[in-house]
Amino acid sequence: MPRAATTRTTRTAGTADPLRATGARTSASVLTGAALLAAALTMTTTPVPAHAAAPVPAGTGKYVALGDSYAAGAGIPAQSAGLCLRSDHNYGHLVATALAPSAYVDETCAGAKVSALTAPQTDAGIVVNGPQLDAVTPDTSLVTLTLGGNDLGTSDVGFVDVVLACSGLAVTDPLGTPCRDFYGDTLSRRLDSAAAHLTDGLRRLSSKAPKAKVMVVGYPPVLPDDPTTCLGRMPVTTGDLRFLRSVLGELNEKLAGTATAAGATYVDTLTPTKGHDSCSASPWIEGLLPTSPAAPLHPNAVGEHAMAEAVLRALGR
């Protein structure tokens, strides 16, 4: 799809429950996994300066895109908004191109947790993005958001943070489930907390724009149903790949339940992208070492296009 434009530039300015490692060996393994992948994460998420944009043609009404790096299109050219890593080919821009709203505002930001809906997002004490709900006004007619994945981790890279830990732990028990043993039910509890905060955020959103159609967009299949396809592609044990895949499924289930309870529409992006996970022969979600411009374990341009198509189908387009 061609590039859609934004109607304003980004504002820039300026309860975690971390697990304790069970011994020096485990801690060292986690750090080893992080070190092995640090270079990939750095290369694919280097911020670039924001760029100006032309107005979107008059159309449906004001459309506001909210969310994290999956909504921002982190690593996909062309990037803008500094550390928020917004792409002009993220799914929000592609949906805006198809709908031609009278105004389009992109508040997506890499690293955003659910709390970013109502609180400024900071990095090293510097505000990189204001509260995302500030962009929602009474004249807003459509809102899309993808949030919750970053709440799985204790850092701003969320699920990637968890995979890094699992990669390091794999060397301690290559045939077992050291990552599942390490986390236990912690990730489920983090998702419960994220869902509760999202419920509050959706209530606030509805209050700010009571006539807006709100669409909670789920996450695509980062990992496959069959973990054996990741052999040689992902440094995580087969048992832990099953565990991580179940966590992603739980994330989408809780997002769907939260959306339905709040009167919003849940958009399934897993089904239409199945078979194109990070371990597939034709990935729409990149692996830990991306081969197309995108952040590790994030949708590439084809993946963002598929997510946009899922949103448009849910809108009856």
Q: Is residue 214 part of a domain?
A: yes
Measured in degrees and rounded to the nearest 5, phi and psi for residue 106 equal -105, 110
Q: Is the predicted pLDDT of residue 306 greater than 60, yes or no?
A: yes
Q: What's the sign of the alpha-carbon dihedral 135, 103, 68, 151?
A: positive
Mean pLDDT of 162-167: 92
Of 29, 69, 115, 280, the active-site residue reads 69
pLDDT of residue 179: 97
pLDDT of residue 160: 82
Q: Token pair for residue 62?
A: 């004001």
Quick one: which H or E segment has residue 217? strand 213-217
Mean pLDDT of 246-259: 98
Phi-psi region of 9 (alpha: psi -120 to 50; beta: other; left: phi over 0): beta
Q: What is the CATH number of the domain that holds 162?
A: 3.40.50.1110
pLDDT of residue 79: 97
pLDDT of residue 203: 98
Q: Is 214 helix (H, G, I), strand (E, B) or coil?
A: strand
Of 93, 197, 276, 298, the active-site residue reads 298
Please report where in the chains the tokens 């952040």 appear, as a residue: 295
Q: Is residue 15 part of a domain?
A: no
What is the dihedral angle through the alpha carbons of 295, 310, 99, 263, rounded to the nearest 10 degrees? -110
The confidence band for 11, taking pLDDT boundaries of 50, 70 and 90, is: very low
Mean pLDDT of 231-252: 96
Q: Give the whole-number percent of the chain exceeding pLDDT 70.
A: 81
Q: What is d(CA 46, CA 65) in angstroms, rounded to the nearest whole number?
A: 22
Q: What's the sign of the alpha-carbon dihedral 75, 77, 80, 82?
A: positive
pLDDT of residue 124: 86
Q: Is residue 63 part of a domain?
A: yes
| Spatial contact of 139 and 210, defined as CB atoms under 8 Å apart | no
Q: Is residue 31 part of a domain?
A: no
Which domain range does residue 77 map to?
Answer: 40-314
Q: Is residue 12 part of a domain?
A: no
* Residue range 208-219, pLDDT digits in tens: 999 999 999 999
Q: Is the predicted pLDDT of residue 158 greater than 90, yes or no?
A: no
Q: Is residue 212 part of a domain?
A: yes
Q: What's the sign of the alpha-carbon dihedral 112, 114, 120, 124?
A: negative
Mean pLDDT of 231-258: 96
* Residue range 86-106, pLDDT digits in tens: 999 999 999 999 999 999 999
Q: Which residue has the higher pLDDT, 215 or 60?
A: 215
- Which pTM was predicted? 0.82
| DSSP line for 15-82 | ---PPPPSSHHHHHHHHHHHHHHHHHHHHHS--------PPPPS-S-EEEEEESHHHHTTTSSSEESG
Q: What is d(CA 218, CA 249) in angstroms, rounded to the nearest whole number?
A: 10
Q: Is the predicted pLDDT of residue 24 greater than 70, yes or no?
A: no
Mean pLDDT of 186-194: 97
Q: Is residue 16 part of a domain?
A: no
Mean pLDDT of 2-15: 36
Arithmetic mean of pLDDT over the chain: 85
- In this structure, what DSSP letter does residue 172 have? G
Measured in degrees and rounded to the nearest 5, phi and psi for residue 248 equal -65, -40
Q: Which residue has the higher pLDDT, 287 or 54?
A: 287
Q: Is residue 82 part of a domain?
A: yes
The confidence band for 157, taking pLDDT boundaries of 50, 70 and 90, is: low
Q: Is the predicted pLDDT of residue 40 greater than 70, yes or no?
A: no
For residue 243, the Cα-to-chain-centroid distance in whole angstroms is 19
Q: Is the predicted pLDDT of residue 165 greater than 60, yes or no?
A: yes
**What's the domain count of the chain?**
1
| Spatial contact of 44 and 295, defined as CB atoms under 8 Å apart | yes
298 assigned to active site: yes
The confidence band for 18, taking pLDDT boundaries of 50, 70 and 90, is: very low
Q: Which residue has the higher pLDDT, 305 or 26?
A: 305
Q: Is the predicted pLDDT of residue 187 greater than 90, yes or no?
A: yes
